[in-house]
Structure 1
Amino acid sequence: MGLISGARRLTIDAWSWLNFKPIYSDQLLGMPNRRAFPEAHATWVPAADERRLAAYKLLSAYDNNQAGELAAIRDGEDARDRREFGDPSMFIDTLVAHVMGREQRIVVPGAEQTTSKNPDQAAAEHLQTLLREWADAELLPMRMLQTERKAVGLGDGVYLLYWDATKQRARIKTYDPGFYFPVIPEDGDGSDYPERVHFAWELPEDPKRGLKPRLRRITYELDWIQPATASGVDRAGRAVRAPLLTEPDDGTDPAPLLNIGDQVDGTNIARDYPWNDRPVYRTCYLTDATWEIGDLIGPVDVDSLPLDKATYATDASGEVLDRLDLYIDFIPVVHVPNTVPPAEEHWGQSSLAKALQVFDELQGTDTDSSRASATTGMPIIGLSGKAASGRSQLAVAPGMVFELGENGRMDTVDTAPQLAELRNQSHDLKERASNVVRLPAVALGTMDPSKVPSGYALQLSLGPLDSLVSGMRLARAHKDTLLLRFVTRLHMAGQHPDWADVRPMPALIARGPYTPTDKAAVLEQVTQGVEAGVMSLETGVRMLSEAGFPIDDIDQEIKQIESRAFAAAKDLADALGNVEAVADFLGRQAPETEEVPAVQLPPIPANAAEADAADPLQDGDDDEA
């Protein structure tokens, strides 16, 4: 570095696609501008997170048409004259709609199988019903929409789950990724689940309440199970948690008291969780503390704040949130990356990342077009002649008559060709941005449907969008399953009576289609497949639901179809000969059948004469007969 002192340092990381912005990447240090991003340079923010927080703020500025205001901090007030017409926001909203799909359904594999009744199918159906009821109560689609907009626009979204003892259900919250600080070991894999997660943000000064600027930090941490604690106060009067001790009757020293259900296994404390088959030695601790900014002196960051300066919060039940044992063996936080992170990385990438330079060019073109349209609507006129020589400048208004002298003339400056060229340039830039983001014009709704030559051509044009949405949904598939797994475990840990007999099973969130579908073709395909026996009824009904048919509940739809399938019930009766099985297939009650009376045969004749009289055909003339 001594030989090339003053040279710009090249930084390549998860946010290096923003290096082209002078306000983001300093010429010498390669760090964000301190005046533009003061939050990223706070003393408690780790150095590894400074560029990430600055990137979030810059992306939010583009989303809210404030990129010019942010650039004005470095480039001067002229940057505020930029025209921003909401193109980045439109791209984000369109991508969010596609990745969400038309509908979202919770599905437990095996719950929709109606051909066989077994304990696994009943357990899956019961869990699916409970999860869907929870999703309706918690407005899960709305929470997903909030998180997806953060993930698509900023690159990351965060869910937080917690048990609400008052409402007796798991609650879900959405956090801005700028508040999310996972502790990832230097020698660990960024794709691994962190064992300690912080949510931290600054609280402004409140002179009316006499409060100074503060920092709040909520921490979830996996650690070894410790003896029981209770709420108390320390010598300074702070609310803290203190260990509980036993009082033996034999005069021995007090010993730590264990939590209910815990047991000592060697040197560690073990605990049985209802979703595990064997004892576990770790639990999740919750800490909610606040510091005054003035007390954060020295080389400290969000993970190493001085605990002796902290003020701990208290929840609604009076428990001090100082390493409160949550009785769960997982951190109830789900990080949702927008894209599949690179190897050993933790963070996703915004969908606007590769197109920001195009959006800058588009803002410049829109600004020039706005200025050119002013000169086109109010043209510049030059007058020459005796009448015009008296005044250096005249105002032009409709109906005004200019009297020109001898050899007078009037000239106008026509800027319409330049305006048309700028509009063409704007159209080309929008098309370039669509190509970079992989959003075709048909997906943005800017293409005239009458100009599409055929459905096959439409499907080909949606190819880039298909691959884009497939990758984005792949990044979310495991996170959706993890979210529902945490919901199930929280209800089991909260000992909700409806969840007492629940068997933990994998569940997923099925996202609906995002492209137009030919309903008639799908209906014909399903009908032929089910009638030919190469497709199950469950699969066919699911295909119809995904195609947009108004099917609210697949299970109920299948039961209604089978309740009218009398021809299939007849075949089932011929195959099994079981009336109860047929009635169960139709969803009806089997009729009560009376016992069939024994067959009464006629008495045997006493002699042959009586037999012949009874049957004339038994005589010797039976051949003639």
Structure 2
Amino acid sequence: MRLRELVIDAWSWINYKPAMADPQRPGHRAFPEINHSWVPEPDRRRLAVYKLLAAYDNNQAGQLAAATGDDHGLERRELGDPAKLIDTTLGYLLGAEQTIVVPGAEHAEQHHGSAVADRAGRDDGGAPPPGAVQAADVQERLRTWADKELWPLRIQQAERCAVRCGDAVYTLAWEPAKQRVLLRTYDPGFYFPEWDDGEQDSSEYPSRVHFAWELPADTVRGLKARVRRITYELGPIGAATAPGITEDGRAIREQVAGADGDPALTVGDTLHPVTGMVQRTYPWAPGRPSGTTCYLTDAEWLLEDLGGAHDLYSLPAGKASYRVRSDGQVLDRLDLMCDFIPVVHVPNTIPDGGEHWGKSSLGTVLQLLDELAATDTDSASASATTGTPIVALSGARLPIDRTTGQPLPVRVEAGTVWQLSDSGRMDALDTSAQLAELRQRIDHMLTRLASNTRLTTAGLGSLDPASVPSGYALQLALGPLDSLIAAMRLARGHKYVLMLRMVQRLHQAGQVWPAGESLPARLVWGAHTPTDRTTVLADVVAGYGAGVFSLETAVRMLQEAGYPVEDVAEEVERIQKRAFDQAARLADATGDNAAVRAYLGLPEADPLPTVPLIPGQVTPDQAGADPQAALQATGRQATRARTDVPGREGPRTAGDV
């Protein structure tokens, strides 16, 4: 690459590749489809990088090198090192499990706690904290939805693509037939965000997002090559529309006219009296009307109808063929009844200022992987000459082919015997020393690879456990891995918060979840390194016993350490049902039997009848009905009690009375 063509951008680490030598036409020899007219020119370099990284992941880097002019590319040995790096990084990123958590849900009491508190006449002693019941309800709904949508599988699909390519994309769509939100993942090569003119920070959420790819020709079905584009776009709320058909039979959407002939509004929409703009109050924002909605368009274009003047962002609307959804809705600017684009882009790393795209985990070590593959190739050649050495014969009597009379080819095989003359000799080429050196070089490069990727030799599994003097030394050795995973999870944290907020709102728009403000929900990753569970258990016992930790926090620590705790609230409830010592201390502190029964998860006890031990004694029920009469009766009871003492005939003094 000449100096005047030097390009420094988010993919500069790939500039050394011959396939990327031309910044204007990257990969034009290996990936000619990238340079089709409909592909936007600024995105071609990114798409070429995605394809190149996929070739490394599938052990096809040698084929890629051969396609770009390397005559020895097909001889390249690829032993799966890139795929191992991707899978290892993915495993540490995801941890043992992924859990949806709504803050405050763990503080919700048992289902009967509030009822017991109300019957006991207490206002707040047994009631859960404000919002805890709602948080628990939302958490349960989100987890149920995640189970139906195969949440762990979708995360595996998207995050592996993010680790390999640097980017991953989720889409959310309301499915009327299933009455829930569908979660799907897309290859980032299909993702084309579009920002408005003058947008200064491309890390901001785009106002328009496209998904586009080519559909090959199908001669059996009589289909020509096509381009499919799915577009999500934010725009002002318009009049109501309905499916229609043009004169040439194409499905489109048409405005619905009212009784007076004017465009009708969707049910629930209103006109602003001053601006005349259509407004809508969404269920997640009560009292805050919005004038924005999201439109969905899904259409196809024939490649033969597209020329050099048309790219992805300017496809001719008159040539479009719109798709129809399962419920009969034509996907031509269909109003999705939400004021956000249900698309979430997940970068693998924290993007630089003003950038939108992440960096692949293979990016900075790609040349090292090439060196490793080259050394593996040399090692394979050296091992061939070591296992089957080159032999030089002198003064040997070679076997003759009886048919042709020519000497037969000489091969070194087990049991082969040659007759040598008195001055004959046999020499073998020994390449074992070179093979040993190549193996040492491979070990050196693997150590360098572990260091540069920050996965460490311990993380890659090449560290001998016997060489680690203590657990603290192992923890120090895993320090770079901890910082790597922390940075990767930081880049994803707010993305999953945004996704779970969208899931709540789309279910509210579908009128299957109650309306109200969306609660913050987050994805909790599992531990990425082995945890000393014995130490964690000792800390929990000591901290909870000393009153430093709450029971909810203690159970959460055990869950994160890998103990089989499925739900924190349920585990707390089980523990409290058997905590008789704590219940006894609660009874001593409050004297409230109802509070103790609520703490143990027991139903409210029936009131016990009070029987007077002395004739004429006032019961608590009578005392509550007439306090003055109870006071006089109590005095008479005390007098009678003193006169009834054996050996006492009656009161002796006024004080006794």
**TM-score (structure 1 length as normaliser):** 0.93
2:98–2:152 CA contact under 8 A, matched in 1: yes
Aligned to 2:192: 181
Q: Deviations over 1:15-53 (max 9, x none)?
A: 111001111123xx5641312122321211111111100
Are the equivalent residues in 1 in contact too, given 2:284–2:516 (CA < 8 A)? Answer: no
Mapped contact 1:10–1:30 kept (Cα < 8 A): no
Letter in 2 for 1:269: V
Report SS of the residue matched to 2:313.
coil
Match of 2:422, SS? coil
Change (3 A) 1:236 1:389: closer
How far apart, in 2, do the equivalents of 1:487 and 1:86 lie?
38
CA distance in 2, matches of 1:611, 1:424: 105
Question: Residue type matched to 1:359 in 2?
Answer: L
2:159 corresponding residue in structure 1 = 148
1:383-532 to structure 2, matched below 5 A, reads 383-385=393-395, 387=397, 394-496=410-512, 499-500=513-514, 503-532=517-546
Give the superposition deviation at 1:76.
Answer: 3.9
Q: Does 1:134 align with 2:145?
A: yes
What is the match of residue 115 of structure 2? none
2:56 to 62, 70, 74: 62
Matched with 2:549 is 535
- The answer to whether residue 219 in structure 2 is matched with residue 210 in structure 1 is no
Q: Give the SS at the match of 1:348.
A: coil
| Corresponding residue to 1:90 among 84, 98, 108 | 84
Rate the CA distance shift 1:527–1:7 in 2: closer, same or farther, 3 A.
Answer: closer
Which of 263, 267, 273 is residue 260 of structure 1 equivalent to? 267
- Give 1:597 shift: 3.4
- Asked if 2 retains the 8 angstrom alpha-carbon contact of 1:127 and 1:502, the reply is no
- Mapped to 1, the partners of 2:435 and 2:336 lie a distance apart of 64
Deviation at 1:69, TM superposition (A): 0.7
Q: CA RMSD in A?
A: 2.3
Pick the aligned partner of 1:615 from 611, 624, 648.
648
Q: Which residue of 1 aligns with 2:123?
A: none
Alignment of 1:311-326 (within 5 A): 311-326=321-336
Output the CA distance in 2 between the equivalents of 1:61 and 1:605: 98
Say if 1:605 and 1:611, in contact at 8 Å, map to a contact too.
no
Following the alignment from structure 1 to structure 2, what is the Cα–Cα distance between the partners of residues 80 and 386? 38
Cα-to-partner distance string for 1:402-436 (whole Å, 9 max, x where unaligned)? 11112211111000000111111111111111111
CA contact (8 A) 1:83 1:364 kept: yes
Is 1:352 equivalent to 2:368 in the alignment?
A: no
In structure 2, the residue matched to 1:240 is 252
- In 1, Cα distance between equivalents of 2:221 and 2:314: 28
For the residues of structure 1 that align with 2:85 and 2:639, how far apart are their CA atoms?
A: 102
Going from structure 1 to structure 2, the CA distance change for 1:616 and 1:169 (only over 3 Å counts) comes to same
SS, match of residue 297 in structure 2: strand
AA matched with 1:202:
E
Alignment partner of 1:24 out of 20, 25, 28: 20
Instruction: Tell me, in whole angstroms, the C-alpha distance in 1 between the residues paired with 2:457 and 2:566.
Output: 32
Matched residues in 2 for 1:298 and 1:233: separation?
30
Question: What's the counterpart of residue 251 of structure 1?
Answer: none
Query: Secondary structure, in 3 states, of the residue corresponding to 1:217?
Result: strand
User: Offset of 1:589 from its aligned partner?
Assistant: 0.8
CA distance in 1, matches of 2:363, 2:231: 30
Indicate conservation of the 8 Å contact 2:107/2:129, yes or no: no
Give yes or no for contact 1:579–1:590 (8 Å, CA) kept in 2.
no
Q: Which residue of 2 aligns with 1:379?
A: 389
Match of 2:342 among 321, 332, 335: 332
Task: Give the unaligned 5+ runs of structure 2.
Answer: 110-126, 401-406, 617-635
Q: 1:394 to 1:59 in 2, by over 3 A?
A: same
Preserved contact between residue 386 and residue 406 of structure 1 (Cα < 8 Å) = no
Partner Cα separation in structure 2 for residue 127 and residue 7 of structure 1: 57
How far residue 546 of structure 1 moved from its aligned partner, in angstroms, is 0.7
Aligned 1:358-373 pairs, distance under 5 A = 358-373=368-383
Corresponding letter in the other structure for 1:354: T
> Could you tell me the percent identity over the aligned residues?
50
SS at match of 1:409: strand
- 1:261-276 paired onto structure 2 within 5 Å: 261-265=268-272, 266-276=275-285
How much has 1:502 moved relative to structure 2? 6.0
Decide whether aligned partners of structure 1 residues 618 and 88 sit closer, same or farther in structure 2, where only a CA change above 3 A counts.
Answer: same
1:45 equivalent to 2:39? Answer: yes
Q: Which segment drifts farther, 55-64 or 72-81?
A: 72-81
Give structure 1 regions of 4+ aligned residues with deviation exceeding 4 angstroms: 5-8, 388-393, 601-607, 610-614, 616-620
AA matched with 2:139: Q
Q: Confirm whether residue 36 of structure 1 aligns to residue 48 of structure 2.
A: no
Cross-structure match for 2:72? 78
SS in 2 for 1:75: coil
Which residue does 2:121 correspond to in 1?
none
Q: 2: distance between equivalents of 1:536 and 1:605? A: 48
- Contact (CA 8 Å) 2:170, 2:186: kept in 1 or not? yes
Distance 1:619 1:489, change over 3 A: closer
1:623 aligns with: none
TM-score normalised according to structure 2 size: 0.89
Q: For 1:437, give the aligned amino acid.
A: T
Within 1, Cα distance between the matches of 2:529 and 2:472?
13
Give the Cα separation in 1 of the matches to 2:398 and 2:48: 57
Question: How many Å separate the matches in 2 of 1:586 and 1:336?
Answer: 45
Number of aligned positions between the proteins = 605
